[in-house]
């Protein structure tokens, strides 16, 4: 999400309007509730109850105070960093939407455990009184959208008053106002009340602008065979065995003839500039979201659709699959598709779903949403050369953020305690991105900088270690993460460093937005 001077409010327990973020016609007050998350890390040496090979949750009775039969295995995977399992609370065979857990272990030892499990005062009956067909029409009318044919489900939703509601889960989209809601609808025998929703859209804002360059004034270049065949054996343009010569491929369909030129004196809407934007966005976003995983594991079928110069808005971009807008701060207007840090920022929102086992439901609190914005800024900064984001599209060397991201507290004063008055995700994200900048800087200072980091994941330089930790921590952290829990996840991802967090006052004793510079013994 990219926004300049835009503010909206959402609390952990609150009511909000479904039109707050997307200019929707109807305004429906909704409840958002995310049960408190407990999170513990055990380090590398502590023996602890673990899953066996069948994923039996021996931990449940001790840590969760729930019947192990009500906590079945939902999803999980194994990587070089360890094994990750995401159990889910059930009642009478029906899963809870917002009562989940995550367990990470390495070498048969549990190293972290997070849970938002609830013990409800009472639960609604498991048999609905209103059919999902009736619910779908109600939700479509309430949100001015259309059901997108995604399979519906019946789930429980824990509420802030200690009760649990039975809800139909449907997905509703409206491309005209750029929303993609997953609506949790409370099934009531009399009203069919719409209780809550999850918004899947994170808004913000072959001759290509190289990934290491910020924006079009730095010049475009022609690349020959840029695909990494180890990662994508069929190449970038081929979903499976079908090969394309347009901006359609295994990872991305970029739409709105290839051209090797760009005319920055003309408006973005001219044919030559539309083609350049389309080609560049295809190049920049051809990464891990893909139609065919080529037998390398993980979920597939998640190719990204990229709409360049999307006519539904200006001065912004978003990612559910993201439209890229035109920015109107300049004459002629500037195209966000030709400012590399913007599509990189948006595409990084696609990695957040690694948290919570791929539900896409773990970033609805304000603090978690801010962390998501911070990750996106941090990944943009890692990829491009420079510490100012979005300066081209707004024609301002200061860019879109309050401060640049240098390794200097004098230039960027954001600290952990800066969060106290903040209630807007982009400002919160700036704090997290600044902390991650200190992490990146410390790693490069300690381990050096590898020129082959983008093609050799086994490199040992700080610029290679950093993205490994970046992604590993996403899998380790709990649902609805906070600065404190994600700090613990990063520390667990790599036990060898910690000083970067303390340098921004997010030390081991930091809590409730009070600064601390303490580091653990041995660090």
Structural domains of the chain, with CATH: 22-34+122-200 (3.10.450), 38-115 (3.10.450), 207-344 (3.10.170.10)
Instruction: Express each pLDDT in 91-103 by its tens digit.
Output: 888 888 888 888 8
Region 263-284 average pLDDT: 56
Region 113-122 average pLDDT: 83
349 is in an annotated binding site: yes
The percent of residues above 90 in pLDDT, for the chain, comes to 4
Structure tokens at 518: 């303490």
| pLDDT tops 60 at residue 59 | no
Out of 182, 346, 367, 430, pick the active-site residue: 346
Give the span between the Cα atoms of 168 and 288, in whole angstroms. Answer: 31
Q: Which of 51, 37, 27, 163 is nearest to 488 (CA)?
A: 37
437 is in an annotated binding site: no
CB of 113 closer than 8 Å to CB of 102: yes
Q: How many residues does the chain have?
A: 523
Instruction: Express each pLDDT in 145-160 by its tens digit.
Output: 888 888 888 999 888 8
Other Cβ atoms less than 10 A from the Cβ of 178: the count is 24
The pLDDT value recorded for residue 234 is: 46
Q: Which of 183, 180, 174, 184 is nearest to 200 (CA)?
A: 180
Residue 346 annotated in active site: yes
| pLDDT tops 70 at residue 55 | no
Instruction: Express each pLDDT in 102-111 by its tens digit.
Output: 888 777 777 8
* Contacts of 484 by beta carbon, 8 Å cutoff, 6+ apart: 506, 510, 511
300 is in an annotated binding site: no
The pLDDT value recorded for residue 457 is: 81
The pLDDT value recorded for residue 389 is: 67
Place of tokens 């949100």: 143
Give the span between the Cα atoms of 355 and 34, in whole angstroms. Answer: 15
Q: Which of 102, 110, 200, 98 is nearest to 159 (CA)?
A: 98
Residue 392: which H helix or E strand, with range? Answer: helix 391-394
The pLDDT value recorded for residue 181 is: 60
| pLDDT tops 80 at residue 279 | no
Instruction: Express each pLDDT in 242-267 by its tens digit.
Output: 433 344 444 444 434 334 454 555 55
Q: What confidence tier does 333 reach under pLDDT thresholds 50, 70, 90?
A: very low
Region 488-505 average pLDDT: 67
373 is in an annotated binding site: yes
CB of 428 closer than 8 Å to CB of 415: no
| pLDDT tops 90 at residue 116 | no
| pLDDT tops 50 at residue 45 | no
- The pTM of the full predicted model, rounded to 2 decimals, is 0.60
- Across 255-265, b (16+ Cβ under 10 Å) vs e yields ebeebeebeee
Give the span between the Cα atoms of 379 and 176, in whole angstroms. Answer: 29
């Amino acid at each position: 999400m990219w926004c300049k001077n835009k503010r909206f409010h959402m609390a952990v327990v609150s009511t909000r309007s479904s039109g707050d973020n997307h200019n929707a016609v109807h305004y429906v007050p909704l409840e958002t509730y995310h049960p408190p998350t407990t999170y513990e890390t055990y380090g590398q040496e502590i023996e602890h109850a673990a899953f066996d090979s069948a994923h039996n949750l021996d931990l449940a009775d001790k840590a969760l105070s729930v019947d192990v039969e009500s906590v079945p295995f939902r999803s999980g995977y194994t990587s070089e960093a360890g094994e990750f399992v995401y159990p889910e609370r059930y009642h009478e065979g029906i899963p809870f939407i917002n009562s989940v857990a995550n367990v990470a272990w390495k070498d048969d030892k549990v190293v972290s455990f997070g849970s938002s499990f609830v013990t409800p005062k009472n639960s609604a009956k498991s048999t609905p009184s209103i059919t999902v067909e009736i619910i779908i029409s109600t939700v479509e009318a309430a949100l001015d959208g259309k059901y997108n044919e995604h399979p519906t489900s019946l789930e429980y939703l824990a509420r802030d008053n200690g009760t649990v509601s039975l809800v139909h889960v449907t997905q509703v989209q409206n491309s005209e106002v750029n929303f993609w809601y997953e609506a949790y609808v409370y099934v009531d025998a009399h009203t069919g009340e719409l209780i809550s929703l999850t918004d899947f859209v994170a808004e913000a804002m072959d001759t290509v602008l190289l990934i290491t360059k910020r924006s079009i004034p730095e010049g475009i270049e022609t690349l020959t065979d840029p695909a990494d065949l180890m990662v994508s054996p069929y190449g970038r343009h081929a979903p499976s065995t079908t090969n394309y010569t347009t901006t359609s491929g295994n990872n991305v369909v970029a739409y709105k003839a290839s051209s090797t030129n760009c005319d920055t004196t003309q408006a973005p809407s001219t044919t030559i500039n539309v083609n350049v934007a389309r080609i560049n966005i295809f190049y920049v976003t051809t990464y891990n979201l893909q139609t065919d995983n080529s037998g390398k594991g993980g979920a597939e079928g998640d190719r990204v659709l990229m709409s360049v110069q999307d006519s539904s808005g200006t001065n912004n971009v978003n990612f559910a699959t993201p439209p890229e807008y035109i920015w109107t701060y300049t004459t002629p207007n500037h195209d966000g598709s030709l400012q590399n840090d913007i599509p990189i920022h948006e595409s990084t929102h696609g990695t957040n779903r690694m948290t919570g086992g791929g539900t896409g439901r773990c970033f609805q609190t304000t603090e978690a949403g801010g962390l998501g914005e911070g990750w996106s800024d941090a990944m943009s900064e890692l990829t491009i050369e420079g510490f100012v984001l979005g300066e081209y599209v707004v024609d301002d060397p200061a860019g879109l953020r309050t401060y640049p991201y240098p390794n200097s507290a004098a230039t960027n004063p954001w600290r952990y305690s800066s969060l106290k008055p903040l209630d807007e995700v982009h400002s919160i994200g700036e704090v997290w991105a600044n902390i991650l900048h200190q992490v990146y800087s410390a790693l490069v200072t300690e381990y050096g900088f590898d020129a082959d980091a983008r093609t050799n994941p086994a490199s040992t330089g700080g610029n290679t270690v950093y993205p490994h930790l970046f992604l590993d921590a996403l899998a380790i952290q709990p649902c609805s993460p906070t600065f404190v829990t994600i700090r613990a996840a990063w520390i667990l991802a790599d036990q060898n460093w910690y000083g970067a967090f303390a340098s921004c006052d997010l030390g081991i004793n930091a809590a409730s937005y009070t600064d601390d510079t303490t580091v653990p013994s041995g660090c």
